[in-house]
Amino acid sequence: MANKDKDIRIHNKSDKPDNIVQKEAEIFEQCEAIENDLPRFLRGFFSYLRGNVLPMTRLAYLQDIHFFFKYLIDETGLVEADETFKIKASELNHVRAVDVNMFIDHCRKYKVETDNTVTIYENNNKTLARKKSSISVLFKYMYRDELVEKNITDGFDPIRVPKAGEREIKALQDDEVMIMLDAVTNGTGLTKHQKSYWEKTNKRDKAILILFLTYGLRLSELQQLNLSSFNFGRGEFKIYRKRGKESIMPINDSVFETLNDYINNERPKEEKIKEGDKDALFLSLQGSRLTERQIRDLVKKYTAIALKTSTKAGYSPHKLRATAATSLIGRGNSIYDVAALLDHEQVTTTQLYAAQKKNVKRDLVKGMEWEKERKGED
C-alpha cells in the first residue's frame, strides 16, 4: 500500500476525474498487496484476473483465495508451508473436492482472534457461493495450465442461492418516500442527537436522497460525484459506471433545486475543505469527501424513519436504487428505458422490478381486519 504520509500526485491524462483514477489505483494496490503474499506460480492467474474481471471482483477473488490458502495452512495438513506465499503448486495436488467443501462449510461461521478482540464472522449462501466461485476459477485455471493434475471443481457441493425473482424486492413505497423526504426536510422523527447534526447537514442529506431516488445511482457512483461532474448550464451531469463507462444524466427541477440549495447555502467554503477534496460534491462537517460508509449510515437513518423501525433495520442505498426502479416502472415508463437509466446489463434484471406489484400485500390485508370487524368498526 502507498505510504499515507506521502503526498499523492496524480498524473492523469484520461477523461476521468482524479478521484476516480485515485480510487481505481487504491483497489489496484490492494490487489497487488495480496498477490505479493500468494505463490509466484500464480502470476499467470493474476494476469488472467486483471484482464477478465472488474477491479472489485478481482479484489474479492484474491481475498477469498488468500483466505483459502491460510485455511490450508492453519486448519489442514495438506501443505507444509507456514506462509501463504510459500505454498507449492505440487502441494495443491493433495487438495480434493471434499477439502474445498469443508472450507466452504468453515466459512459459514468462524472467528478471528487478535490480542484484544474476538470477531465472529457469519456468511450467507450468496457470500459462500462467491467464495466457491473464486476457488473454482482458481482450480480450473491451474488445471488448464497443468499446475495441478485433476479438475476437482465438478465435486464441489452446490450452494442454494435464491434465483432472481424468488426473493421479494425490498423498496420504499411512494408514501414512505414522502415520509422520508419530510424527515430530511423538516427534521421530523429524528432524535435530539440526530437533529443537532441535521441542522448542519439537512440540505446535503436531502440532495443525496433525491439523487438516489431520481436516478437509482449505485453508492460508489454517488460517492464519487464532483462539482465538476455537473454542467448546470446544459442541465446534465456525468457519472462513471462499472468498467469505467461514462454516462450523462439529465438534471430535472427537483435535483436542480436541492443541489443548488446545498451548494450555495450549506456546502463548506473552499478554505474549510481539505486539500484533494475541494472538487468533491458531498462533504463531511470536517471538509472531507463523504465515505461510502457515511452515506450508507445516513440513508439507513432516514429510511428507518419512513419504515418506522430501528436505524439498524433501515434500508441501504441499494434499496433506494430498487425504489427508483419500481417507481419509474410504476409510472408507466418503458422497461428498456429504465434499464438504460439504471445501467442494467440485462433487461431481465429490470423486469424483476416490474413484477413487483406495489402495495398488493397491503391492499390484500386491508380486507382482513378481524379485530375491527369484531368491534363493529368500519
What single-letter DSSP state applies at residue 124? -
For the chain, the first-to-last Cα distance in angstroms comes to 66
What's the chain's Rg over C-alpha atoms? 25
DSSP 213-266: HHH---HHHHHT-BGGGEETTTTEEEEE-GGG-EEEEE--HHHHHHHHHHHHHT
Give the per-residue pLDDT at 19: 86
pLDDT in tens, 286-306: 999 999 999 999 999 999 999
Enumerate residues 6+ apart whose C-beta is below 8 A from 85.
36, 37, 38, 39, 40
- Confidence band for 339, pLDDT divided at 50, 70 and 90: confident
Give the per-residue pLDDT at 4: 52
| CATH fourth-level superfamily of 18-155 | Tyrosine recombinase, N-terminal domain (1.10.150.130)
Average pLDDT in the chain: 89
For 5, 137, 247, the CA distances from 65, given in Å and listed in that order, are: 30, 10, 34
**Identical fold at 18-155 and 174-358?**
no
For 36, 260, 307, 319, the CA distances from 329, given in Å and listed in that order, are: 47, 28, 22, 15
Angle, alpha carbons 322-312-258 (nearest 5°): 55
Residues 150-154: what's their mean pLDDT?
A: 95
Instruction: Give me 157's grid cell.
Output: 457441493
**174-358 has which fold?**
hpI Integrase; Chain A (1.10.443)
pLDDT in tens, 37-49: 999 999 999 999 9
- Confidence band for 332, pLDDT divided at 50, 70 and 90: confident
- Confidence band for 215, pLDDT divided at 50, 70 and 90: very high
Helix, strand, or coil (residue 287)? coil
Q: Which of 305, 313, 312, 289 is nearest to 222 (CA)?
A: 289
pLDDT in tens, 57-101: 999 999 999 999 999 999 999 999 999 999 999 999 999 999 999
Give the per-residue pLDDT at 160: 84
Give the per-residue pLDDT at 161: 73
- The partner residues of 230 in beta bridges, in order of sequence, read 237
Give residue limits of the domains in the chain: 18-155, 174-358
